[in-house]
A and B are shown apart, each in its own frame.
Chain A
Amino acid sequence: MEAQQQNKRRRVYSMEPNKIVQSIFARNYLSYLVSALMKIKENTSSSKDHNDICKNVKYEVEMAMVLSAQGFAWSNGLKVKLQREHINNVATTEGDNNLGMEKDSVREDKEDEEKMKNLISLIPGGEEICDEQVVNELESYIKCLQMQVNVLQCLIAETC
């Protein structure tokens, strides 16, 4: 309840969601991910498939991202995508999108609009973001991605 109120207040009152998210992203991310990973660890004692573990971990990683960065359009898009995939038990299509985009971006003569479209497609839920907000969302998304990578690297470094 409190968390919801927290989130609501953030969305309503925050004039600068970016800064708030930066300041508590890592904390929220770690606290969610660590507990989720422990749960997975306990559940895998029943010798599940490695792929399942991978999927679960991926899901938790991205869920942690969503929960740590509320108030952005892309975090909502990511949440929607995760819910859809979780229900369908499909592997994350993010990787597939990446590969597709890779081929496209290699082409030499690309219009700026097409590039923008590519960029927007990289952001989860990007198609629904209105054009003016695209760059803001992009900014926050890149920052959160950077932080996420950092957190994951630290986590792995410490546990290996």
Chain B
Amino acid sequence: MLHCLNTSSNLVGGGNISDMTVLERQRARIKFQNEHQQFSGNGFSSSHQQQFMMLGCDSALGEIVTNSMKPDPDYENGFDEETVKKRKTDNKVDLNSKDKRIKVCVEEGESKIVEQRKGQKNTKFNNGNKNKRENCEDSNSKENSKGSEIQNQKPDYIHVRARRGQATDSHSLAERVRREKISERMKYLQDLVPGCNKIAGKAGMLDEIINYVQSLQRQVEFLSMKLAAVNPRLDFNIDELFAKEVFTQNFPTTGIPSEMTNPAYLQFNSAQQLVSCCGGLINNMGIIPPEIGLCRNINAPTSASLPEIFLDSSIFTHILPSSTWEGMVEASNMKMEM
């Protein structure tokens, strides 16, 4: 075992895993395979060989791990699909048959491997090697049970990793990674689409989402047609009223995050809406005097508060000060023009 560690450190001495070429990794792996053949005389099972092989070899371990197991979508470092493909093309001589055992062994130290591969630092890896070894030694007795567990865990997206040996695996690997990322984010969509909370399956969720988007689009179409029918009778005296209505209705449905203090925000935004609506109307058409009076009356009491709201950026610091400031300034300019 110590020998393995030494050789691993020699291997790694050159640099990070990423620095090593594919060829070097192949050589390393073959080296360790040969070295571990010697252990068979000691009575280790072939599975143990694999364990130690993985323990010892630093970069080769990373390769074996990646080649024998499916990629973990949770990797922060980005499980490079290119590197996976590279590894796919490596020699798959002896490890094909031992895939399962490798999985078995590694699952114990899986989390550690994950962390190490995330860091991809030699030091981390070397430190973890010893821990892994201990874990694997302990797990020798539980191999079979663990094996079955791993088999059961395969559908679980956390433990999913690619099996090497199939030429088409690189594509399915990428596919799997992609699908799992998407399925994670589906959870966000569950909140958006009403009635999706009860549906657990991804397929049902997708169906719901598709139906919902379609229905929304159809609704928009229908409403626009209705609007076209109503168009001749359009009357904008009551713009200010529905401006407020729009906001009170919009906020509950869109679920504005709570970090925006709703009352202050509503007040602010409705004033802005009044301003912009009135400004827009005034710019486009001659305003009927009563409207002007109405607009000005509404704006007058708030004009004092508006500058205060401008100064109070606490609401918008959560979002983005720069861009929203521009919006506010523009609206206030429109008001001034009136």
Contact = CB atoms under 8 A, between A and B. Distances in A.
A38 B224 contact: no
Nearest to B275: A27
Nearest to B276: A31
A5 B322 CA distance: 11
Contact of B216 (A22, A50, A62, A149): A149
B250 A139 contact: no
Interface residues of A, number: 78
Contacts of B320: 10, 13-16, 19-20
B21 interface: no
Given A20-B320, A105-B210, A57 B326 contact: no
B242 A95 contact: no
The secondary structure that dominates the B interface is helix
A80 interface: no
A102 B214 contact: yes
B330 to A, nearest CB: 6
Contacts, number: 219
A6 B330 contact: yes
Interface in B147-175: 175
A95 B186 CA distance: 25
Nearest to A123: B213
B269 A27 contact: yes
Given A38-B234, A151-B250, A159-B230, A118 B210 contact: yes
A78 B179 CA distance: 26
Give the 10 A-B CB pairs with smallest separation, nearest first: A135-B185, A57-B228, A152-B223, A158-B242, A145-B216, A115-B206, A61-B224, A54-B228, A10-B323, A6-B326
Given A24-B269, A53-B228, A115-B207, 14 more contacts: A9-B326, A14-B320, A16-B319, A22-B256, A23-B269, A41-B231, A54-B225, A58-B228, A105-B211, A122-B210, A134-B182, A135-B186, A146-B253, A150-B253
Interface of A: 2-3, 5-6, 9-10, 13-16, 19-20, 22-27, 30-31, 34-35, 37-41, 44, 50, 53-54, 56-58, 61-62, 92, 94-95, 98, 101-102, 105, 110, 112-113, 115-116, 118-119, 122-123, 131-132, 134-136, 138-139, 141-143, 145-160
